[in-house]
Amino acid sequence: MNKKIRVGILFGGQSAEHEVALQSAKNIVDAIDRDRYEVELIGIDKQGGWHLQDARKFLLDAADPAHIRLNAGTDNLAVVPTQGHQPIVSLSAQEREVGPLDVIFPVLHGPFGEDGTVQGLLKLAHLPFVGASVLGSAVGMDKDVMKRLLRDAGIPIPKFVTITRAAYPRLDLDQAVAAVGLPCFVKPANLGSSVGITKAHDRAELRQAMDFAFQYDRKILLEEAIDGREIECAVLGNENPVASVPGEVITDHTRHEFYSYDAKYLDEQGAALVIPAQLPDHLSRAVQTLAVQTFQTLCCEGMGRVDCFVTADERVVINEINTIPGFTRISMYPKLWEASGIPYPELIHRLIQLGLERHAQEQTLATSKA
């Protein structure tokens, strides 16, 4: 039997979705094929510290989504840019060291994890990893750059206006409102989980919403509000990505105006997932085609969940990509693959293989003039 591949699951992180990442990591650990893989767990606490975790006790209150937390020890890990020897080292004397790792599976959402920063660190350490690389991650995180690339590729998106903090005092509000209409959505460019996002119905709300969004980022977007169903599609692959069946998120509009942070994470009745989405075939196919185009336009690799709106007059409008989607067993990304014929353990296997394949290909590239 071949030697087992040693996978480092790098999880948690500093974002608002820290707890979701803990659940995702637990599900991956429980489901990964032990005949093929050996797992090492590296937890990132909310302050950004890295810790080697013991698989038997890495979570506290694991069964309770409201109180789950990382059982971070006192040790600290460091990543050393290197090639040829183990790049993840312990800063304090430990009973146990991180052994050599063949590949990293990042389970981190939002800034400092999904945005290319961790991916850059892993590249410097010459560690193969799952999912989009530096560019795809960074582009997928920045809603302004993402939308400019999609617009350039002719992919349908909502009308939008980007405002930097420097330009904000000189903003022509009439012009901005004329461009996107009211109501409109106001968002920080680089965040996730609906944090900092408001639906503004009039100019007074718009001003407030912009001030609020600027608390989270130096760049914000105003977006045309699209009246449509929220459809999500999973994409898997490197050069030849494929799309899953689409799924639908149905927000309970008597409780939440849109798919807000509360609807996503706090209110159990806030939203329901319907898999597969009840769409006519031609619309499902249109969603799948646009999902793959979006994935490729945004330089993504491995995995991505593409979220869009489908309007009553059958337009598909792309909202965004998530380069590290939620990975709990009840999350949309793995559920969509399950409904498309790829069970959860097989999905984990394919994603790891895609990360290893990409790395192997990169190794064959010339790095200097012949």
Ligand X SMILES: Nc1ncnc2c1ncn2[C@@H]1O[C@H](COP(=O)(O)OP(=O)(O)O)[C@@H](O)[C@H]1O
Site of interaction with ligand X (CB under 6 A): 158, 185, 187, 191-194, 197, 223-226, 230, 258-259, 307, 319-320
Residue 223 makes CB contacts below 8 A (sequence gap 6+) with 158, 159, 160, 180, 184, 185, 186, 187
The C-alpha R_g of the chain, in whole angstroms, comes to 21
Residue among 223 and 301 whose Cβ is closer to ligand X: 223
* CA–CA separation, 278 and 117 (whole Å): 38
Least separation in angstroms between CB 66 and ligand X: 21
* CA–CA separation, 133 and 183 (whole Å): 36
Residue 1 makes CB contacts below 8 A (sequence gap 6+) with none
Residue among 11 and 185 whose Cβ is closer to ligand X: 185
Tokens representing residue 264 in the block: 């996503």
Residue among 132 and 191 whose Cβ is closer to ligand X: 191
Least separation in angstroms between CB 195 and ligand X: 6
State the CB neighbour count (10 A cutoff) for residue 290.
Answer: 21
Residue 152 makes CB contacts below 8 A (sequence gap 6+) with none
Residue among 9 and 321 whose Cβ is closer to ligand X: 321
Residue among 102 and 230 whose Cβ is closer to ligand X: 230
Least separation in angstroms between CB 28 and ligand X: 22
Least separation in angstroms between CB 13 and ligand X: 16
CB 349 within 8 A of CB 97: no
Residue among 8 and 247 whose Cβ is closer to ligand X: 247
Residue 244 makes CB contacts below 8 A (sequence gap 6+) with 233, 234, 235, 236, 288, 336, 337, 339, 340
* CA–CA separation, 302 and 30 (whole Å): 21
Whether the ω angle into residue 345 lies within 30 degrees of 0, i.e. cis, is: no
Residue among 194 and 294 whose Cβ is closer to ligand X: 194
270-to-9, 93, 249, 256, 276 alpha-carbon distances in Å: 30, 47, 10, 7, 19
Least separation in angstroms between CB 335 and ligand X: 17
Least separation in angstroms between CB 198 and ligand X: 9
Q: Which burial class, exposed, middle or buried, applies to 367 when counting CB atoms under 10 A from its CB (0-12, 13-18, 19+)?
A: exposed
Least separation in angstroms between CB 92 and ligand X: 37
Residue number of the CB atom closest to ligand X: 259
Least separation in angstroms between CB 344 and ligand X: 23
Residue among 214 and 344 whose Cβ is closer to ligand X: 214
Residue among 71 and 193 whose Cβ is closer to ligand X: 193
Residue among 58 and 214 whose Cβ is closer to ligand X: 214
Least separation in angstroms between CB 207 and ligand X: 19
Q: What angle is formed at CA 168 by the lines to CA 164 and CA 171, rounded to 5 degrees?
A: 120
Q: Which burial class, exposed, middle or buried, applies to 291 when counting CB atoms under 10 A from its CB (0-12, 13-18, 19+)?
A: buried
Least separation in angstroms between CB 168 and ligand X: 20
Amino acid code (one letter) for 185: F
